[in-house]
Amino acid sequence: MEVQATPKTGFELWQDGLNKAIADDKWNTWDCEIQVAVNEYNRHLSGTAGYMPLDWHIIKAMVWVETGANKTEWKSRPIQIGNSHDPGLTSLLSGAEGGDLILPPAWKGRLTIGSVRTIPAHNIRAGIGYLLMKLGSYEYRSVPSAEFKVYEVTIKAGDSLDKIAKAQGSTLDTLKKLNPTAAVLRPGQVLKCQKASVQRVITGWRHLSTTLIAQRYNGGGDPLYAKKLDYALSLMSKGKAALCEQ
């Protein structure tokens, strides 16, 4: 009796396609661009609490999983950020969710919705920026202004710490920190003051894993996303990468 072969699963079919990729140089097209971009982000974020440098191979695995060299979008949106029905790019560029802290200064204002949708180097940078934005933890804290000078103010009748903070361009937290004993204010009393504002700051980073990327970047759309990334990374360790000028 003839035994019928079990049809391949979606994942096995995808694996077959990718197995051919390691021998084809076009799948390495974005290696150098990815390395440059990842280095820019790593330099920019290295001073933030608990930042672990991003491995560029993760991003290479993402462009393989997101697009792959056989799709036409490979030449415009390799990491797929900025598609229609995609709120992620606006979140990154608006800065309201921490994107302004993540983007290296040289790229602020250069990345636009139009450029990210059409220029691969911009698309890759926006994709990395979005991923890092989702990995960060943020809090609003009092941040002293670039001018660190501490000066004195004299209390008038009817003043409160809140009123003084607003009038002096400072924050309640800053005034409390500088004047720990000033619980009750009296006219004529002298307080220390410093210009400050409440700003969003990066307070830590989530541990990067393929599962986290599947949840935070892909939003669970592809149930096999993490498995695909793991497989792409395992193939990369056996294949070759493009040679890039450093």
Residues of the shown chain interacting with another protein in the complex, contacts defined by CB under 8 A: 9-11, 13-14, 17, 64-68, 71, 73, 79-89, 91, 97, 127, 130, 134, 216-225, 228
Of 82 and 120, nearer to another protein (C-beta) is 82
Of 53 and 223, nearer to another protein (C-beta) is 223
Of 50 and 220, nearer to another protein (C-beta) is 220
* CA dihedral over 193, 197, 198, 200, signed as positive or negative: negative
CA distance 242 to 24: 11
Per-residue burial over 28-58, b = 16 or more CB atoms within 10 Å of its CB, e = otherwise? bbbbbbbbbbbebbbebbeeeeebeebebbb
Q: Per DSSP, what are the bridge partners of residue 154? A: 190
Min dist. Cβ of residue 198 to another protein (A)? 24
Min dist. Cβ of residue 72 to another protein (A)? 9
Rg (CA), the chain: 25
Residue 202: exposure state from Cβ atoms within 10 A (0-12, 13-18, ≥19): buried
- H/E stretch holding 182 reads none
Min dist. Cβ of residue 94 to another protein (A)? 12
What single letter denotes the amino acid at residue 74?
W
- Scanning the structure block, which residue is given the tokens 């619980």? 183
Min dist. Cβ of residue 7 to another protein (A)? 10
Min dist. Cβ of residue 10 to another protein (A)? 4
Of 38 and 191, nearer to another protein (C-beta) is 38
Of 17 and 114, nearer to another protein (C-beta) is 17
